[in-house]
Chains A and B, each alone.
Chain A
Amino acid sequence: MAPQTDPFGAGSEQAGNRLDPHLERYAERTRGMTASEIRSLFAVASRPEVVSLAGGMPNVAALSMDTVSSTVANMLATRGQVALQYGSGNGDQRLREQICEMVGLQGIAPHPDDVIVTVGSQMALDLVTRIFCDPGDVILAEAPSYVGALGVFRAYQVDVEHVAMDEHGLNPDALRERLKTLAAQGKTPKFLYTIPTFHNPAGLSQPQERRMEILQICQSAGVLIIEDDPYGLLGFDGVIPQAIRSHDEDGVIYLGSFSKTFAAGIRVGWAVAPHGVREKLTLAAEAAVLCPPAFSQLTISTYLDTQPWMDQIKIFREVYRERRDATLESLAQYMPPGTTWTHPTGGFYVWVSMPEGIDATAMLPRAVTARVAYVPGTAFYMDGQGHQSLRLSYSYPEPDRIREGVRRLGSVINEELKLMHTFGTVGAAKKTGTSKGSTPGPDVV
């Protein structure tokens, strides 16, 4: 065998090839979808040698597989034919009633007709953005904000205006100021997207008075609130904060999920929406997926009917509290001076702010070499902020692995600091990446 083409033949007539015959067909919003050096590093994070504090995977090992197995068997025995059939676009009636009972814990009292069941709350957010936002519309979100939400907003070509946070979450003064600035530009945000309880990625919660103040500001400005609340039942002290939606049924769309209270793989979430909105959400949902998966819905419904699900949530709380404690103790032990971090009272995440000048994106290869992974802060902003910050997720690794991971991270930051001093870049405004593609996929722990 030998090459058939003369390698010395002049290729001047040769047409170029971009290796994608559909290149000219893609929508404008597809242009930013590229491979990412940072995302590729997360491929290493899935290896057991690496302590991954990157992905926010629920700890399903704390869920009894025998319980799940018997629940599925029970469901198939009693409602098998319904589970294997198409269902209603807004979800199973019984499950919507059960969701109403659950959100009652957060002070929300909807009618089952106000509930739309979705494929995870991610789909609910997608539908909300789809029915409210045109390309170029403005929405408000915390700084930082949930990376999955930013992905939705980017896909719909929405302009995200970040609003600063303080130790109690979204800062009302910053919200007023941002609304004022936008009004001066003739812009009205379509909605405020907020995670008031155990925020992802910041790990902060809004006190009740703060929630009321934010609600009043939005009511005055005529801004709809999208309240995303996947972690609301996972407070380590067992106290369940009251949702913003509990104070306003017309001005707030509430998003919930079973991913953290049961299992992420079941992919069931929901939206509680005012009646006018819910009809449009249902039509949009039917256009997207016809109906949410009946099998998953009925499995959860059976689980809620037959199992002590609040006891399971207490188990989850204890699992995550133990890991939160390991994270905070290790951070206190291993982080260099100048590093600060949040102290979550629930949820999955700690937000770490590093000494001035360190760029978490640029540092990630060194961290991966040291066998520890995190998500750089830039992933949680649409406007280039976050270089000096990173998110640690403690939900998945065992406490001893978390301690080892934080120890490694401390060494990595110290090495990076030495490098900064060597090159005089301490305090320099380094920007090595953008938010696009700086996060692991959902299946990376």
Chain B
Amino acid sequence: MSNQSSLRVVVLAGGLSHERDVSVRSGRRIAEALRSRDVEVDERDMDIELLPWLVADPPACVFPMFHGAAGEDGAIRDVLDLLKLPYVGSDPEACRLTYDKPLAKTILARSGVSTPEMIVLPHEAFRELGAAAVLEAVENAFGFPLVIKPSKGGSALGVSIVHSAEELPTAMVTCFSYGDTALIERCISGTEVAVSVVDLGDGPVALPAVEIVPDGEFYNYNARYTAGLTEFFAPARLSQEVARSVADEAVKVHKTLGLSGFSRSDFIIDAAGIPQFIEANVAPGMTETSLLPQAVTAADLDLGEVCLALVHDAIEAHRQ
């Protein structure tokens, strides 16, 4: 093992988003993984003292692990660019495209990636056009079940699966508690998988798909962060053909959205064996129950080794 004691990395985690708790845990895991590789790590939250602190003693690299707004929407990375600090992961533009789920789906669909049919409606649309008429049109066009989710955000916060017209208004209110725009998507049944992509210096590579089988109806917040409520299969129980197909799609998502370093894309493998893109993440969860670390293990890699390679790659890319 090489001695990395001269390498100082700042892991940013916490923030003010609804996913603060998850971010803190993800940041801690990344910090421990890097420390296991003899990297000097500082863990910092986002506050008014952060920027002066970074300027006063610039680290070799920053590892942003904020989840949700300001973390995944590109804002913090824009600021890191202003400070000319290298950081792990995608640039601000790629973050903006990815964090906006409808936008990402649209871009990817144009590139030939299959993704469930959707409509995107801000709160005002319901207010101005009348919720009943809009929801009836949605029902007539898509039928049930439907997935209702905020257009931005993660950890399945504000997400509902709706089976009848009676459930729709409550699902919409729940969704709008987390954001002003709703993504309404046709619900695809099939095998749920997450494919992590890492670029360790030789271009983006897909790690083994992780199959998600929650005890409940869907992979909601509780199922994500309570060990035992979800069964995972890593690698996923897929045929070689489908496994290759979903891996290719994940790399395609990574490249098409201009992502860097690492990403995680979520898919449903439909009845025809076609991966249907659901969403991508520029700062995927790294907690004890998260998917990317499971994929790393399934690939016989070490999380500390992967994180260190990402750091070195980010520093090298910054130099160029």
Footprint of B on A, CB under 8 Å?
A: 1-5, 7-12, 14-20, 23, 34-37, 40-41, 43-44, 47, 49-50, 359, 362-366, 368-369, 416, 418-420, 422-425, 428, 430, 432
A-B pairs with beta carbons under 8 Å apart, 24 shown: A2-B200, A3-B300, A5-B235, A7-B243, A7-B244, A8-B244, A12-B238, A14-B233, A15-B233, A18-B232, A23-B227, A34-B222, A34-B229, A35-B222, A35-B226, A47-B16, A362-B174, A363-B177, A365-B18, A365-B158, A365-B177, A366-B178, A369-B178, A419-B176
Question: Which candidate, B4-12, B206-214, B278-286, is the interface stretch facing chain A?
Answer: B206-214
Contact of A362 (CB < 8 Å), options: B24, B173, B234 = B173
* B240 CB contacts on chain A under 8 angstroms: 8-10
Give Cα A15 to B213, complex, Å. Answer: 12
Question: Is B301 an interface position by the 8 A CB rule?
Answer: yes
A403 to chain B, nearest CB (A): 21
B148 to chain A, nearest CB (A): 12
Which residues 57-102 of B have a CB within 8 angstroms of A? none
Give Cα A35 to B17, complex, Å. Answer: 17
Are the CB atoms of B228 and A12 closer together than 8 Å?
A: no
* B244 CB contacts on chain A under 8 angstroms: 7-8
Contact of B208 (CB < 8 Å), options: A7, A369, A430 = A7
Give Cα A34 to B235, complex, Å. Answer: 26
B4 to chain A, nearest CB (A): 15
Question: Which candidate, B26-34, B103-111, B125-133, B265-273, is the interface stretch facing chain A?
Answer: B125-133
Closest residue of chain B to A13 (Cβ to Cβ) is B237
Assuming A36-B222, A40-B21, is B208 touching A365 (CB within 8 A)?
no
Footprint of A on B, CB under 8 Å?
A: 16-22, 24, 123, 126-127, 131-132, 155, 157-158, 169-170, 172-174, 176-178, 200-202, 205-209, 211, 213, 220-222, 224-240, 243-244, 247, 288-289, 294, 298-301, 305-306, 309
Are the CB atoms of B18 and A5 closer together than 8 Å?
A: no
Point out which of A5, A416, A428 has the most chain B C-beta atoms below 10 A from its C-beta. A5
Assuming A4-B301, A368-B18, A424-B131, is B226 touching A34 (CB within 8 A)?
yes
* B18 CB contacts on chain A under 8 angstroms: 40-41, 44, 365, 368-369
Extra pairs beyond A10-B235, A365-B178, A423-B126 (12, CB < 8 Å): A5-B300, A10-B243, A12-B237, A14-B237, A15-B233, A18-B227, A18-B232, A19-B288, A35-B221, A36-B222, A424-B132, A428-B170
Assuming A37-B221, A362-B174, is B206 touching A11 (CB within 8 A)?
no
A142 to chain B, nearest CB (A): 28
Are the CB atoms of A7 and B234 closer together than 8 Å?
A: no
* B21 CB contacts on chain A under 8 angstroms: 40, 43
- What 3 pairs across the A-B complex have the smallest Cβ distances? A4-B300, A3-B299, A11-B235
Are the CB atoms of B208 and A5 closer together than 8 Å?
A: yes
Contact of A19 (CB < 8 Å), options: B205, B228, B309 = B228
Give Cα A204 to B288, complex, Å. Answer: 43
Give Cα A187 to B201, complex, Å. Answer: 70
Assuming A8-B243, A17-B233, is B228 touching A37 (CB within 8 A)?
no
Are the CB atoms of B243 and A19 closer together than 8 Å?
A: no
Point out which of B177, B213, B224, B234 has the most chain A C-beta atoms below 10 A from its C-beta. B177
B295 to chain A, nearest CB (A): 9
Contact of B235 (CB < 8 Å), options: A7, A47, A419 = A7
Give Cα A15 to B237, complex, Å. Answer: 9
A433 to chain B, nearest CB (A): 10
Are the CB atoms of B222 and A37 closer together than 8 Å?
A: yes
B23 to chain A, nearest CB (A): 9
Are the CB atoms of A35 and B225 closer together than 8 Å?
A: yes
Are the CB atoms of A432 and B299 closer together than 8 Å?
A: no
Are the CB atoms of A422 and B123 closer together than 8 Å?
A: yes
B269 to chain A, nearest CB (A): 12
A369 to chain B, nearest CB (A): 8
Give Cα A364 to B177, complex, Å. Answer: 8
A66 to chain B, nearest CB (A): 30
Are the CB atoms of B20 and A43 closer together than 8 Å?
A: yes
A258 to chain B, nearest CB (A): 31
B150 to chain A, nearest CB (A): 9
* A50 CB contacts on chain B under 8 angstroms: 16
Point out which of B224, B227, B228 has the most chain A C-beta atoms below 10 A from its C-beta. B228
Are the CB atoms of A7 and B247 closer together than 8 Å?
A: yes
Are the CB atoms of A9 and B235 closer together than 8 Å?
A: yes
Closest residue of chain B to A19 (Cβ to Cβ) is B227
Contact of B228 (CB < 8 Å), options: A8, A9, A23 = A23
Assuming A44-B16, A430-B173, is B221 touching A11 (CB within 8 A)?
no
Are the CB atoms of B200 and A7 closer together than 8 Å?
A: no
Closest residue of chain A to B160 (Cβ to Cβ) is A432
Closest residue of chain A to B229 (Cβ to Cβ) is A34
* A422 CB contacts on chain B under 8 angstroms: 123, 126-127, 131
Point out which of A3, A44, A424 has the most chain B C-beta atoms below 10 A from its C-beta. A3
* B289 CB contacts on chain A under 8 angstroms: 19
Are the CB atoms of B243 and A2 closer together than 8 Å?
A: no
A140 to chain B, nearest CB (A): 30
Point out which of A7, A15, A40, A368 has the most chain B C-beta atoms below 10 A from its C-beta. A7
* A40 CB contacts on chain B under 8 angstroms: 18-22, 155, 221, 225
Assuming A2-B205, A11-B211, is B232 touching A16 (CB within 8 A)?
yes
Are the CB atoms of B127 and A418 closer together than 8 Å?
A: yes
Are the CB atoms of A3 and B207 closer together than 8 Å?
A: yes
* A420 CB contacts on chain B under 8 angstroms: 173
Are the CB atoms of B208 and A9 closer together than 8 Å?
A: yes
Give Cα A1 to B312, complex, Å. Answer: 12
Give Cα A423 to B160, complex, Å. Answer: 16
* B201 CB contacts on chain A under 8 angstroms: 1
Give Cα A49 to B45, complex, Å. Answer: 13
Closest residue of chain A to B195 (Cβ to Cβ) is A7
Give Cα A425 to B169, complex, Å. Answer: 7
B190 to chain A, nearest CB (A): 16
Are the CB atoms of B205 and A3 closer together than 8 Å?
A: yes
Point out which of B24, B229, B306 has the most chain A C-beta atoms below 10 A from its C-beta. B229
Give Cα A432 to B177, complex, Å. Answer: 12
Are the CB atoms of A16 and B176 closer together than 8 Å?
A: no
Give Cα A321 to B61, complex, Å. Answer: 50
Give Cα A28 to B255, complex, Å. Answer: 48
Assuming A10-B239, A44-B16, is B177 touching A366 (CB within 8 A)?
yes
